[in-house]
Amino acid sequence: MTDDGGTEPLAMDFEGAGDGRERALALLLLSMADDEFVIGFSDSEWTGIGPILEEDVAISSLAQDELGHAQALYGLLADGVADDRDADTWAYDRPPEGYLHARLLDHHRGDWAATIARRYLYDTADSTRLEAVAGTSYQPLRELVAKIRREERYHLMHVQTWIERLADAGGESRARLIAALTTMGPDAGTVLAPLPGETALVRHGLVTEPFQTMDERWRDGVGVTFRRLGLAELPATADPASARSGHSNAFRALHAEFTMVRLSEVGATW
Amino acid sequence: MTDPLALDPVLPLTERSALPFNDEQLDHDERYRHFEEHVTGGGKVESTDWMPDEYRTAVLRFVEMHANSELMGVLPEREWIMRAPTLRRKLALTAKVQDEVGHAQLLYRVAEDLGKPREAMIQDLLAGKTKFHNVFHYPTKSWADIGIIAWLVDAAAIVAQQALRDSSYAPYARTMKKICWEESVHIMHGRDVVLTMATGTADQRASIQEALDRWWGPLMQMHGPRSDRAKDRDLHWRIKAKTSEELRQEFLGIYVPRIREIGLTLPDPDLALDPATGVWGYGEPDWNELRTVVTNHGPKSQERLDFRRANWDATQWVRDAILSAPRAAVA
């Protein structure tokens, strides 16, 4: 593989051979894809039971966007690794502990306030990460991120409106939002916790700034909104070393659900 | 996705006022006579037109049940969104269920214009006072059901819905154009799921056949018992265009050959086309089952209604929050 986006296979040396470029790129793609895959599942749990019909339709669109992004990112990974695993194999055929999504997305769906809190924290962090990947030296990812950012802009507008409305409505609405932010707050920073191989990511221009810098920029932006809404500042990230491992029982239950049909006949075409 | 045909402009107000039943100077009986003449002659009615109560009530009841069916119809399929076995299937099923929710929203809006608020329609549905279609009272037991529902339940529905594109109530007819366009995409998705399994492993094939056997009875009941064309007020007012038997024959004519073509069998020994008359014969559907099911005594009726009620209650605070006036900005 060349820096201008050639097609040589990625060596999936998760043990860390060479100077670590391929491994770091694979981890970046997989972590981004798993994040989008898992939040897409959480959002699609609202399809058909949204709080109002108009929002039901909206959250289904968000879910489809996220799953579409996951599909494209798994596709890049499959092209790069070129070991006969396709996007579906990457998405479905790993044990729960093999997923690299951030711990923020390990919380079960929860109520509408939890959904908005998760979406807000994730979308703002993801948007910061996308800014840092927009100028990546890996051309296929650069092209994909340009497309993803066009859609994510609308996701941000949607969730910004909701968080303001829930916070400003006071009463039960505000109390539920605060409870959700309190539960998820310590995990919010896991989206931007440094990946293994970060040094190689930065050295090869795969991301254009270190995760620490992204995290600071993201916290500044969230801080402005939270202060305006009278919400408490986000706490520091709990246990950043295990930001993307040791997944919760809620995720294990989700994993059992989404592999149910596929595992009923392994190897069949669906 | 919007079908441009669904955006046909409505007649301008000046043209509507030229219609005699809109003339406020005439007495009720005369307006009624002009209205009936207009509608039975193929004329369209807009929401702003004068209309007899009988017509308004009939359209409202018809559209409300359709909206309820779309809303309740998302539940059997929704259970499988989380279990879809590939990314493509997951995306297609999410999009399909989203379409059904969107149809419910469009149809409740059409019904609202006839004078019943959406909240009241949802409350009546949750209280079991209004009905929804028979096929949405049954369980989904396997992934194969997702294929059979999207292919054949949607096909049976589209046969009826295509005829509604000519409904005398113009806002409903326009909405049906958009809905039919989306339903035709669902049928392609369903057929693809069925074909993939029918040409897959022995277990997948057995699973599809089992699902078809289970759904065939409800599918044959779906359009309702034969009725007398002359006594059907919905036909008289041209709210709908075809009798239940005409719809069932149309469905059988298109889909029985397609089902057999892929090697699946139908669980009705009497099902056969009479070549002389072109009419399909079939074993008498279980009309008692239909009556039992649509009065909310089906195998999943209460569970689905309970689920809807629980979700409606759990999200009441959200509706309260967004319908309330925003508080002054927090310092």
- Subunit contact B105:A270, Cβ cutoff 8 A: no
In the structure encoding, which two tokens stand for residue A182, read together? 């309190």
Q: Chain A residues with CB inside 8 Å of B100's CB? A: 48
B264: left (phi over 0), alpha (psi -120 to 50) or beta: beta
The mean per-residue pLDDT over the stretch B214-228 comes to 97
**For A21-264, which CATH superfamily applies?**
Ferritin, core subunit, four-helix bundle (1.20.1260.10)
B245-258 pLDDT tens trace: 999 999 999 999 99
Nearest by CB to residue A64, choosing from B78, B95, B197, is B95
Dihedral sign for Cα A229, A125, B92, B87, please. negative
pLDDT of residue B3: 57
Residue A17 pLDDT > 60: no
Nearest by CB to residue A48, choosing from B75, B200, B330, is B75
Q: Would you tell me the crossing angle of helices B301-314 and B316-323 to the nearest 10 degrees? A: 40
Cβ atoms of B79 and B94 closer than 8 Å:
no
Instruction: Choose from A36, A60, A115, A231 for mutation: most chain B CBs within 10 A.
Output: A60
A209-220 pLDDT tens trace: 999 999 999 999
- Subunit contact B322:A165, Cβ cutoff 8 A: yes
A199-242 pLDDT tens trace: 999 999 999 999 999 999 999 999 999 999 999 999 999 999 99
Q: By CA distance, what is A113's nearest residue in B?
A: B318
Instruction: Choose from A168, A178, A231, A252 for mutation: most chain B CBs within 10 A.
Output: A168
A134-183 pLDDT tens trace: 999 999 999 999 999 999 999 999 999 999 999 999 999 999 999 999 99
- Subunit contact A265:B78, Cβ cutoff 8 A: no
Residues 106-165 of A with CB under 8 A from B: 111-112, 165
CA angle, A129 as apex, A127 and A130 as ends, to 5°?
65
Q: Chain B residues with CB inside 8 Å of A176's CB? A: 317
- Subunit contact B101:A230, Cβ cutoff 8 A: no
pLDDT of residue A15: 45
Q: Chain B residues with CB inside 8 Å of A227's CB? A: none
Residue B201 pLDDT > 60: yes
CATH fold, domain B47-323, is Ferritin (1.20.1260)
State the average pLDDT for chain A: 92
CB atoms within 10 A of CB B42: 9
pLDDT of residue A153: 93
In the structure encoding, which two tokens stand for residue B302, read together? 């209460």
Any idea which of B40-49, B308-317, B318-327 has the lowest mean pLDDT? Answer: B318-327
For chain A, say whether B98 makes contact (Cβ under 8 Å): yes
Claim: this prediction has a pTM higher than 0.90 = yes
pLDDT band of A114, cuts 50, 70, 90: very high
Give percent above pLDDT 90 in chain B: 92
**Which residue type sits at A241?**
A
Domain ranges for chain B: 47-323
Question: Which are the contacts of A246, defined by CB distance < 8 A and separation ≥ 6?
Answer: A97, A103
For chain A, say whether B309 makes contact (Cβ under 8 Å): no
pLDDT of residue B327: 55
pLDDT band of B8, cuts 50, 70, 90: low
For chain A, say whether B185 makes contact (Cβ under 8 Å): no
CA angle, A239 as apex, A221 and A236 as ends, to 5°?
30
- Of B86, B237, B216, the C-alpha closest to B149 is B216
Residue A16 pLDDT > 60: no
Distance of alpha carbon B82 from alpha carbon B79, whole angstroms: 7
For chain B, say whether A173 makes contact (Cβ under 8 Å): yes
CA distance A105 to chain B (A): 16
The CA–CA distances, whole Å, from A81 to A76, A207, A269, B119 equal: 8, 19, 22, 53
The mean per-residue pLDDT over the stretch A98-104 comes to 97
pLDDT band of A19, cuts 50, 70, 90: low
- Subunit contact B87:A71, Cβ cutoff 8 A: yes
DSSP state of B45: B
Residue identified by tokens 């769906």 is A109
Distance of alpha carbon A210 from alpha carbon A195, whole angstroms: 10
CA distance B317 to chain A (A): 7
pLDDT of residue A3: 39
- Subunit contact A47:B97, Cβ cutoff 8 A: yes
Residues 22-41 of A with CB under 8 A from B: 41
Question: Which are the contacts of B313, defined by CB distance < 8 A and separation ≥ 6?
Answer: none
CA distance A101 to chain B (A): 17
Q: Chain A residues with CB inside 8 Å of B87's CB? A: 67, 70-71, 74, 87-88, 91
Question: What distance lies between CA A138 and its chain's CA centroid?
Answer: 19
**DSSP result, A196-211:** TTHHHHHHTTSSSS-H
For chain B, say whether A232 makes contact (Cβ under 8 Å): no
How many CB pairs below 8 Å do chains A and B form together?
138
Cβ atoms of A137 and A205 closer than 8 Å:
yes
Q: By CA distance, what is A175's nearest residue in B?
A: B317
Q: By CA distance, what is A71's nearest residue in B?
A: B87
Residue A4 pLDDT > 70: no
- Subunit contact B85:A261, Cβ cutoff 8 A: yes
- Subunit contact B143:A261, Cβ cutoff 8 A: yes
- Of A77, A27, A14, A7, the C-alpha closest to A201 is A27
Give percent above pLDDT 90 in chain A: 88
pLDDT of residue A8: 43
Question: What distance lies between CA B75 and its chain's CA centroid?
Answer: 14
Q: Chain B residues with CB inside 8 Å of A269's CB? A: 196, 200
Task: Return the exposure string of A1-35: e unless at least 16 CB atoms fall within 10 Å of the residue's CB, then b.
Answer: beeeeeeeebbbeeeeeeebbbbbbbbbbbbbbbb
B86-144 pLDDT tens trace: 999 999 999 999 999 999 999 999 999 999 999 999 999 999 999 999 999 999 999 99
Q: Chain A residues with CB inside 8 Å of B195's CB? A: none
- Subunit contact A52:B322, Cβ cutoff 8 A: yes
Decide if the complex's ipTM is over 0.90: yes
Q: By CA distance, what is A68's nearest residue in B?
A: B91
Cβ atoms of B317 and A172 closer than 8 Å:
yes
